[in-house]
Amino acid sequence: MTNDLVQQDMFTVLHGQPAPVVTRWSYSAYDPFAVSLAVRTRQDRWVEWLIGRELVIAALDEPTGEGDVRMRPLNVQGYDIVEIEIRSHDGRAVLEVDQDLLRSFVEATLAMVPVGTEAERMDLDGEIARITRSCGA
């Protein structure tokens, strides 16, 4: 963890699979509204999703999300987990992550950028200029 980045690897159970997969959760103060969830595939490739940080925070205590990403806390065989359902045009995946590990990650993001202060971290004029340059002729 640096002053502007929180990153944590976690073993995650892919629903229906016997062996856990490695996930990498990342949060950057430069993109304060989003959390990156990357899943390592068998081919040692990373597949990444961006998830709203508010969704991840809420999922620690209640079912949340709609559309492509849904999350909910569950107790499975005595273990507190957060179930993450991700949908795309290619299919659907259900991941299970340890709730305490996810809570630890979330707390680190909140220590870096408290809820309600995210906009203060963004340089909107700089982002607009960057986007405009990338679209320019």
Write down all domains in the chain, each with its CATH number in brackets. 5-135 (2.30.31.20)
pLDDT, one tens digit per residue, over 69-124 is: 999 999 988 999 999 999 888 788 899 999 999 999 999 999 999 998 887 877 66
Cβ proximity of 23 and 39 under 8 Å? yes
The whole-angstrom separation of Cα 24 and Cα 43 is 16
The whole-angstrom separation of Cα 107 and Cα 56 is 11
pLDDT, one tens digit per residue, over 11-59 is: 998 877 778 889 999 999 989 999 999 988 878 888 899 999 999 999 9
